[in-house]
Amino acid sequence: MKAIKSLGRRLSLAKSSPSSSPSTSPTSPKKSNGLSASPSTTTSTTIAVSEAPLIPKPLQEVPVIHEIDPSKILSVTDAETTAPATSPETPAISSTTPAVEPAAKPVPAAAAPAIATATSTAITVPLNQGWTFARQAVENEPALPFPADEWIDASVFPTNVHSELLKLGKIPDPFIGLNEYDVQWIGETAWAFKTSFEVESKVLDEPNVDLVFEGLDTYASVYLNGDLILEATNMFLEYRVPVKSHLKTDTNELLIQFPSTFHKGLELEEQNGKKQVWNGNSSRLHVRKAQYHYGWDWGPNIMTVGPWKPIFLHAYTAHIADAHIKTVLSEALDSATLNISLDVSGAELASEGLGAVVTVLKPDGTVAVTQTASLSTTETSGVLKSKLDIELAKDDIQLWYPIGYGAQPVYTVNVEVKQKSESTSEEASSSTLPLAHKAQRIGLRTVRVVQDPLEGQEGLSFLFEVNGVRIFAGGSNWYAIPADSFLTELPAERYVDWLKLMVQGNQNMIRIWGGGIYEPDVFYDTCDELGIMVWQDFMFACGQYPAYDAFVESVKSEAEQAVKRLRHHPSLVIWAGNNEDYMMAEILKLPIDWSLTSLSESELKASALPARHIYETVLPEVVNRIGNGDVYYHRSSPYSIPGKSSMDLKHGDLHNWNVWHGEQLDYQKWEYMSARFVSEFGMQAFPDRRTVDHWLGGNTAERSPQSRTSVSHNKSTGHEKRLAQYLIDNFPYSMDMDGYIYATQLLQSEAVSSAYRVWRRNWKGRGKEYNAGVLVWQLNDCWPVTSWALVDYFLRPKPAFFTIARELRPLTVGIARYEKKGPVPKSSAEASQFFVAVWATNATLEANTVSLELAAFDLYDPTFQWSQKKDITLPPNSSTDLMMMPLPGQPPLSKKSQVPRGIVVHAKLLDKDGDVISRNTNWPEPFKFINFPPPSAISLKVTSTSPPGATQITLSAARPVKGIILDAEGDADVKWSDQAIDLVPGDDQIVLAWGLGKREVKVRYLGDGVVE
């Protein structure tokens, strides 16, 4: 193969100045009547999209959304019991080594932990200080590189062992080089965490004191003052343990012992049987832990361990155990009722002495309505219940829509439990803290999954309808994994940054994949604010999961907590039982008769896929019983309908992996692989060069695509062959690292953007939604790696992010090229004719009249000119085929020795003001056959100006240019508004750059080298 050497065009640009993001202050609510609400504020503040929108106007109107202050986002748990995570700024409190373990030196008195800010008379005491950790000796274990029983101060809390040892310099960074393999021992031994604390008398004066563990990873024995109070077995569960009788007014000692989750899984597998998996050790099937921790085809094997979520004491008279708020909208969407069910626990409660006050705050923070209710019980458990219906005034109804289809107003519902006697004086009661308080944010919307017969095609639709509007879902899978291998290293702001990227990329749906975690509240709150629909898997992925009783009971509790926590989010639009378990069973040809659709529990458990009992019985029952009744339950992803293959193209959703995996077909054949809803597909690419250099850790000798280090930072089986195959089939490329990065990124950008383009073409309007959604695998990475991600671990977008953003604009134009072959009469030769199809998509809800401009160029003949212009009206919420015509300038061919002309077809949509709102350029393929004009003939020009906040770069050329990717000298990041740009004569394009300063710009494009 001939090598291509990059010329690396450079331009010195002037320094730019940063811009700032506006925000507004929250509005205080009005005071209510009766059992009045305590003074409160709303968190509905204004959220600005990043100061660096990735798609410049007028090509994309950046939506006005609200600024999220992650520290103020309301938790689904009681507001008064939400324990803030510790931060470096949190004052340290005196703590000691608990006496549960022998102390080598005298133990000083522990200080009482700070009590959280009160929103009720209940007391929350975060236990986030004074923690130490140690490895515990395990019988018959091999020599390990870290001593046992050496207690070390934890730097933060919550935390995990890997992060702590890394900060201490005790282990190498597992994200660099081959270090991942040198830290495996951490997950294969036992650890313990402990702290000591004092409890103020007023805490013990409360009738009830619970110790709450929001998340323990994974198996844990918890001791309080030497008493075993909890055996934890599920990473996804929150545990609430009554501990008043175990607490002392002086020093209390809390010890958590974590045995090896990996070894525990092996024991369970030996007891209950070994089953098949894709990715990771098969013992993971028995363990309720984030499955990707066992390693996947994009992530490392890092078995984290430790208290990964907050731990706190909750002392109370009354505790709102559940506030189920169900929104009911009329068919006309002009009336709204909140059906609210309350469960209040507390052993000392008197049923006749308590009442509830419910206040609904409008999105602007003002009070919409306040209503009171009595609490009563006939039970002996001490749980009080109440049900009330709150009707909103017609003028107060603001509907929530996905981004691009309307606004995202979010209401806050405050629930307070008070003594009834407090209602006798409004002034007194409004200043008196309630016994308990809970706040939830809700949105008013209807949602359903429409599976209706289609016009002109077999099968059923599979689409999402919100408030009666049918939505084309264009989005991504959430790495389809969590955004970090170390979950405790993820601040709330990083979640917000990830999701803002989706908005900037014109995406409206995120799928949370079943091998990760149920994400924290900030994730779903941000999706509510930004209008991003959430497809939520339950946490099962790629395996024959068991269904023995203990496992099912743990899963049931996990599902109940997850559904209860997430059900109020307007962004949540679907629950799916698992990821690919049914598909895997089919591919492995497990002995399952799928035509039998009504099986008993015992029959399901006895099948080759025992967890069918979980997916077809347990999970739907939980969703129906605990959910709001409006979110569809889907047995699996992918899944069609009962009795049909999960890989059926005419029903349900599809994971389309016949490109890259499976048959490894050409990505140019996406058009013939469409389905009703494609919830996975993808193509790999190397990340940004800075990310590659990070994983190399300065080892320049390994800076090669084929080095041991680079290969280790791609976990997909056969990835070298597959990348090489798709590159060889399509592009000229070089094997130096920078050239290979460019080639793979261009490959990915072409492959995935073309899928969005041709599949969205099948959104033909009501009754003809032949394809209703496309979710690429994947948005993000959990470590520095070569993968299918659009954005790498350090939030550096790959070019594919930008090409997809262009395909998901509200108005787009598409071109496809077809070759019609046929025999030549009385000859063995084969004739070819070339055609181009042009279509446009209008995703708005109104008809749009635009101008379509078409132009054709010959790469080898600059004198060739062809153009056409016409005004067209595009119907709303659909794609429209505009024309099919012979390829301009290309005569029919009658023999293979006749080489097609290098015709490039360019299409633009312009609005009434003449501004370009969409472009698409169609090239002869494969690109490897194109003899690109030399750079001197292309005459690429790069000029710049420096308006406030960004450097403006103008690109122009005398010949068509393919795949322009911009970079800057040095290691500092630059935010670009566009990448992977196709440029044609007469259509200059503008790119904005933030953070460029005076650095030189490097420009790469396909064919920018010289043959050596």
The SS3 call for residue 338 is strand
Helix or strand holding residue 503 (H, E): helix 492-504
**Which of 194, 189, 186 shows the shortest CA–CA distance to 139?**
189
Specify whether the CB–CB gap between 160 and 308 falls below 8 A. yes
- In three-state form (DSSP H/G/I as H, E/B as E, the rest C), the secondary structure along 407-466 is CCCCEEEEEEEEEHHHHHCHHHHHCCCCCEEEEEEECECCEEEECCECCCCCCECCEEEE
What is the mean pLDDT, run by run of 10 residues, along the chain of 1012 residues?
34 36 35 39 33 34 34 35 35 31 37 66 96 95 91 97 96 97 97 98 96 98 99 99 96 98 98 96 98 94 97 97 98 97 81 86 98 82 88 98 98 94 48 89 99 98 99 89 60 92 98 96 98 99 98 99 99 99 96 88 94 98 98 98 94 98 97 98 98 98 97 93 97 96 99 99 99 98 96 97 99 98 80 97 98 98 96 99 98 91 98 97 98 91 81 95 96 96 97 92 84 28
How far is 532 from 379, CA to CA, in rounded Å? 42
What local confidence, expressed as pLDDT, does residue 758 receive?
98
Walk me through the domains of the chain, giving residue ranges and CATH numbers.
Answer: 79-260+303-314 (2.60.120.260), 320-434 (2.60.40.10), 471-683+748-805 (3.20.20.80), 810-929 (2.60.40.10)
**Which of 182, 161, 164, 160 shows the shortest CA–CA distance to 172?**
182
Residue 800: partners with Cβ closer than 8 Å, 6 or more residues away: 683, 685, 745, 748, 749, 752, 753, 790, 980
User: Taking the CB of residue 881, how many other CB atoms lie within 10 A of it?
Assistant: 12
User: Taking the CB of residue 861, how many other CB atoms lie within 10 A of it?
Assistant: 12
User: Taking the CB of residue 107, how many other CB atoms lie within 10 A of it?
Assistant: 14
How far is 416 from 36, CA to CA, in rounded Å? 9
Q: Which two tokens stand for residue 766?
A: 């009501």
Phi/psi of residue 812, nearest 5 degrees: -140, 160
What local confidence, expressed as pLDDT, does residue 276 receive?
95
Residue 504: partners with Cβ closer than 8 Å, 6 or more residues away: 49, 50, 53, 54, 55, 62, 805
User: Taking the CB of residue 823, how many other CB atoms lie within 10 A of it?
Assistant: 10
**Which of 6, 9, 2, 8 shows the shortest CA–CA distance to 739?**
6
Q: Active site includes 1012?
A: no
Q: Which two tokens stand for residue 205?
A: 């004066």
Q: Which two tokens stand for residue 717?
A: 């089986």
Q: Tokens 């469960």, residue?
A: 343
Specify whether the CB–CB gap between 486 and 160 falls below 8 A. yes
What local confidence, expressed as pLDDT, does residue 714 receive?
96
State how far the alpha carbon of 533 is from the alpha carbons of 342, 461, 625, in Å. Answer: 27, 18, 22
Helix boundaries (H) for 112-228: 161-167, 201-204
What local confidence, expressed as pLDDT, does residue 115 receive?
66
Specify whether the CB–CB gap between 375 and 355 falls below 8 A. yes
Q: Which two tokens stand for residue 59?
A: 């090509």
What local confidence, expressed as pLDDT, does residue 183 receive?
97
How far is 323 from 358, CA to CA, in rounded Å? 10
Helix or strand holding residue 721 (H, E): helix 719-730
What local confidence, expressed as pLDDT, does residue 351 receive?
54
Q: Which two tokens stand for residue 85?
A: 């995570």
833 forms beta bridges with 820
Side-by-side strand order, sheet with 811-823:
811-823, 830-842, 878-886
Please give the biggest Cα pair distance in the chain.
103
What local confidence, expressed as pLDDT, does residue 95 receive?
32
Specify whether the CB–CB gap between 438 and 76 falls below 8 A. no
Catalytic residue among 198, 580, 680, 702: 580
What local confidence, expressed as pLDDT, does residue 948 receive?
74
Q: Which two tokens stand for residue 859?
A: 């790469």
**Which of 525, 620, 529 shows the shortest CA–CA distance to 566?**
525
The dihedral built from the CA positions of residue 662, 664, 665 and 668, taken in this order, carries a sign that is positive
What local confidence, expressed as pLDDT, does residue 595 receive?
85
